[in-house]
Structure formats: C-alpha cells, structure tokens
Structure 1
Amino acid sequence: MKRRTVADVMTDKVVTVTARTPFKDIAETLIAGGISAVPVIDDDGRVIGMVSEADLLRKEEFREQFYREGYQPPLRARLRHPKGRKKAAGDTAAELMTSPPITISPQAAAVSAARLMDAHDVKRLAVVDQDGRPVGIVSRRDLIKLFLRSDDDIAAEVREDILDRGLWVDTSGVVVQVRHGVVTLSGRMDRKTETAIAIRMTGRVSGVVDVIDELTWKHDDSTWEAR
C-alpha cells in the first residue's frame, strides 16, 4: 500500500515574498496569484513566516473597530488588542507575518499535514526541504482531493495491495464493494483477528471515507490472544 505523502498533493509552484515586501505588493501578489497566503523568506531563501489575507485584513478591521468617524479609544482598550494593533500598524511582510511558520516536509504523510493544520488551526502549510527553503504549499483543499479518488481505484487498491499482498493470508473469500468512498468488506476469512486487520488497513487507504465490516470468520482466535 502506497502511503500518500505531502509531495503527492501539494502545489509545487510557490509564490514568495521577502521580509521587506511592502503591504500593497503583498496584496497584489495574493490577488494576482489567486492565493490566500504566501511564505515570507529571508535573504538565504529560508521560510521565516507566512502572510495571509487575514493578516492584511487586520489593518482595515482595526481601523474600522477603533477609528471609525475619528473615534480614538482609551489607551487601555488599545492595549487589550496588542496583536491586532501590531498587525494593523504593519507595513511590510516582516511586520505582518505570522512567525515562526508552521512547516512540513514533502516526505511527511499527508495525514500528518492534516493533523498539523488542525493542531495549529491553520488552513495551509509551507512545505520546506531540509534546509528550510520552500518547495511547495499544502492546503486543506489539497488534502480534500485525497477523497476524490474513484470508487474503482479504491476498490482496486484494497483488493490488490491490502487483501492480496498485504495480509499474507487467504482472502479469496472476501468481497470488496465501494460506493462514494465507503468500502464494504463482506465474505469469510479464516480467523477473527485477520478480519480486524483487514478492516483497519482498509481504513488507511487514501480516499476511503468509511469501512463497513460485514466479514465473518471460521475461528474466533481473539480469545486465544487474551490468554
């Protein structure tokens, strides 16, 4: 079974800005590229941060919240929003970016990218080589593409890579059916523990939304393991 990596799903055309790139140039870069964020690189080409649409919008958000119609809030109110105030005052990528950046290796498992995004509540990651230089961008949208595999492709991988080659047991009695990414395994295997392994490995196949277990077995060897 081929593990899907970040390199399999990432966008390898990376648009970057430098720490000195002005606010308006960053905005133009995002609009021209149809992208929502760009990595910020230093003079050696290493990623040092990320600037997103949200970072740019903080300037207008802060102005609207605190300074509409010339209103000047009390100092204590401004101090309660130090991050927003700092971003709002930023004029270059270095002042606007989120740093340190959340990055990932192209060799990392795609599922690791998903977990990293979830853990840090970000929508995209800079993909960097061993020297910290950008080689791609992976977004939530890229990861969702893993679930767009055809049912036939998923069924073929489950049949050939999991059942025929991965388990090293007789799986001739197993039937694989896939509908809208949901895999149903039915039929009969020799041991109960073997069916559990088949279900677990099938669930790891890229594109599988869920696995329905309709397998039966000849011998219940789960009680043997408990002894």
Structure 2
Amino acid sequence: MQMRRKTVQDVMTRAVVAAYQHTSFKNIAQIMIQRGITALPVICDGRKVIGVVSEADLLTKEQHKDDEKRPWLESRHDRLSRAKARAVTAEELMTTPAITIRPDTTIAQAARLLDRHRIKRLPVVDDQNVLLGIVSRRDLLRVFARPDEEIREEIIQEVLTRLLMADPEAVSINVSNGIVTLGGTLEQRSLIPIVTRLIAATEGVVDVIDELGYVDDDTTEAAHRVPRA
C-alpha cells in the first residue's frame, strides 16, 4: 500500500537568492541581513551549486581578528577557519561540497537530513546539480499547518476509500489540532494497526488515538490454523 507523500518540491521556495563565485564578502553579508536568511548557495555558470556560505562562515573574520599567529599549534580545523577569516569572495568563504537535496525527496527524509547535518536550509537541485529552489525547516513545518478538515478529508479519500477500500461510514474520524481520534468498527482486527499506521503517515497528523473495535479477531492462532485434510 503506497500513499502519495508530500515531497520537497511541494513546499520548497523556488525564488532563490544565490551568490556567484566572485560575489564579495560585504555583498553576501548585506544580502543575508536584508533578506533575513542564514545561508546562501554558491553557484557557477549554469546555476550549478558548488558550495554554501553561511553566517558562521562570515563570522570567522570577526572570530579571528585578535588571534595571535601560532601556526605550529593550530589544528586542521583552526587552519581552515583562519583561511576563511582572510576570505573576500564567496568561493573563498564557502563550504564545499554543498549538502543538497532532490525535489522528489519526501518531507520526512528532508527533515532527517537537516537534523543529521545540523543545518537549517538545503539547496534543491536536479540530477545535473542545477539549483531549483531552497527548502528550510520552516518549509517542512508547513504540513502541520494544514486545516483539520483537510486532513480528515484526505484520511477518508486516500486511506479508507482508495487504499483500504473500506466503508468510510464504518469509521468515525475526528481531527482536532492535528490529533486524529478513530472510532467505529472494522470487520477484521488485523486491519486496525494498518489503518492507524497509514493515518499516522498522513501529512499534518500529529498523533492518532485508536478507539476502534472489530467484528472478527483474525489475529488469533485459531484463525490462522490450516484445517487437516
């Protein structure tokens, strides 16, 4: 059973502000302040993504202003940080290779990638690494802003009617603040965990409260016993 899951292309921002390789340090800082963003993809000709410049990359210049030069005591991380502190263009500042994402990636996969790398935004690229958009943590949270009635209607049409071919009249569905409460009776007990799992996977659902009953308990040993010939 496959549900149509929302993907990055459903929520990403398509009007992307980017920096070119030779964009100056000051220009990058101005763009970030004016646009209220924390990172910029760096692109070359053809809008291919070659790196990302973040606020942290810019702040290395301030961080190392009063440093005493002791190269023999520096770690590799310190050397790279000091090099960024001397940078004056996007190409010198950027972190490369950039962590990017494809537009057909699911919302759940995108959230895991952002969390794993502790970043707030990801450039969205095609199979040629051409910039298509940007997806942020805030974009991913949009699914939880769906109206309760919209979530309820999707559960009825997508889960009960299309996937399970069940009678939607047999199940009562109440959605409040994204929390789905299920009541009513299903024909078979084995359907209950399937229904709750599919509903929990519906975009915007915060939690599922299962109050479902059943007519036939097909999960018992007797129900699965093969009669002897």
Using the size of structure 2 for normalisation, the TM-score is 0.89
Equivalent residues of 2:152, 2:174 under 8 A apart: yes
Instruction: Determine the structure 2 residue equivalent to 1:202.
Output: 199
Equivalence map 1:21-170=2 (5 Å)? 21-63=23-65, 67=66, 72=68, 74-79=70-75, 81-170=78-167
How far does residue 31 in structure 1 lie from its aligned partner after superposition? 2.0
Which sits farther off after the overlay, 87-96 or 206-215? 87-96
- After TM superposition, the structure 1 stretch with the greater mean CA deviation from structure 2, 144-153 or 214-223, is 214-223
CA distance in 2 between counterparts of 1:5 and 1:33 reads 25
Q: Distance in 2 between matches of 1:122 and 1:53?
A: 11
SS in 1 for 2:127: coil
Match of 1:193 among 190, 195, 205: 190
Number of residue pairs matched?
A: 221
SS of 2:212's equivalent?
Answer: strand
Distance in structure 1 (CA, Å) of the matches to 2:78 and 2:219: 58
Please, which runs of 5 or more residues in structure 2 have no aligned partner?
none
Pair 1:12-2:14 in alignment? yes
CA contact (8 A) 1:171 1:189 kept: no
SS at match of 1:172: helix
Percent identity (aligned): 45
In the alignment, the residues of structure 2 paired with residue 203 and residue 149 of structure 1 have an alpha-carbon distance, to the nearest angstrom, of 14
Report if the CA contact (8 A) 2:218-2:224 is conserved.
no
Which letter maps to 2:53? V
- Counterpart contact for 1:124–1:137, Cα < 8 Å: yes
Q: Deviations over 1:143-192 (max 9, x none)?
A: 01110011111111112211122212344321101111111111110111
| Larger CA deviation: 76-85 vs 87-96 | 76-85
- Alpha carbons 1:78, 1:85 under 8 Å: kept: no
Between 105-114 and 77-86, report the one with greater CA deviation.
77-86
For 1:12-66, what per-residue CA distance to the aligned partner results, in whole angstroms no more than 9, with x for missing partners? 0011111121111111121232222111012332101111112111221232xxx
Q: Residue 146 of structure 1 aligns to a residue in which SS? A: helix
Cα RMSD of the aligned pairs, angstroms, is 1.9
Corresponding position: 1:175 with 2:177: no
- Distance in 1 of aligned mates of 2:86 and 2:180: 52
TM-score by length of 1: 0.89
Using a 3 Å threshold, how does the CA distance of structure 1 residues 92 and 172 change in structure 2: closer, same or farther? same
